[in-house]
Amino acid sequence: MNSPKSNQLPLGHLLLALAIVAVWGTNFVVIKLSLEAFPPFLFAALRYTFAFLPLAFFIPRPKVSWANMCAYGVAIGVGQFGILFFAIDGRISPGLASLVVQTQVFFTIGFAMFFAKERLKLYQAVAVSVSMTGLGVIALHTDTNTTFLGIALVVIAGLSWGIGNTVSRRAGSIICLLMSSGQVCFRYHHSF
pTM, entire model:
0.79
Mean pLDDT of the residues in the chain: 84
- Is the per-residue pLDDT at 153 higher than 80? yes
* Residue boundaries of the structural domains of the chain: 11-187
Query: 43, 153, 32, 178: which is closest to 100 by C-alpha?
Result: 153
Tell me the per-residue pLDDT of 73-124, one tens digit each, with 9 for 90 and over: 999 999 999 999 999 999 999 988 988 999 999 999 999 999 989 999 999 9
